[in-house]
Amino acid sequence: MHELGVVFYIIKDVKAVAVENKVEKIDSVTVEIGEVSSVIPYYLKDCWDWAVHKEEGPIHDAKLVVETIPAVTYCENCHKEYPTVKYGKECPYCKDNRTYLLTGNEVNIKEIQVF
């Protein structure tokens, strides 16, 4: 379960931002997770709840909000974009395999909400 490692990195970054901005209490952290990032939102939330409950300082018991970034693939042959999860690597328009992922593999901290 690599979600716990992801949570530790998010907490580390959020704590650094809190210190830099002299934040006393964080209400919630919103993260964006790519549809094909291999991070499972349910596991991430469970790991988050466990980790922030043990943390002291501004992040203690902060909520986690997860938003999904759709996976979109680009075809180099026909120059069209399409939904990756539905069609995979092969372009549904021209059937070419010279494609690459545009979005959907990210894990980003989008927002930190403070009291």
Predicted confidence at residue 1, as pLDDT, reads 56
SS3 (DSSP) at 66: strand
CATH number of the structural domain 3-114 = 3.30.2320.80
Predicted confidence at residue 2, as pLDDT, reads 86
Predicted confidence at residue 44, as pLDDT, reads 97
The greatest distance separating any two alpha carbons of the chain, rounded to the nearest whole angstrom, comes to 54
Helices (H), 1-113: 3-20, 41-54, 84-87
The pair of three-digit structure tokens given for residue 57, joined into one six-digit string: 């300082």
The pair of three-digit structure tokens given for residue 6, joined into one six-digit string: 């992801």
Predicted confidence at residue 71, as pLDDT, reads 98
SS3 (DSSP) at 73: strand
For the chain, which residues make up each domain, given as ranges? 3-114
> Which residues in the chain come in under a pLDDT of 50?
none
- pTM confidence score: 0.88
The pair of three-digit structure tokens given for residue 32, joined into one six-digit string: 């964006």
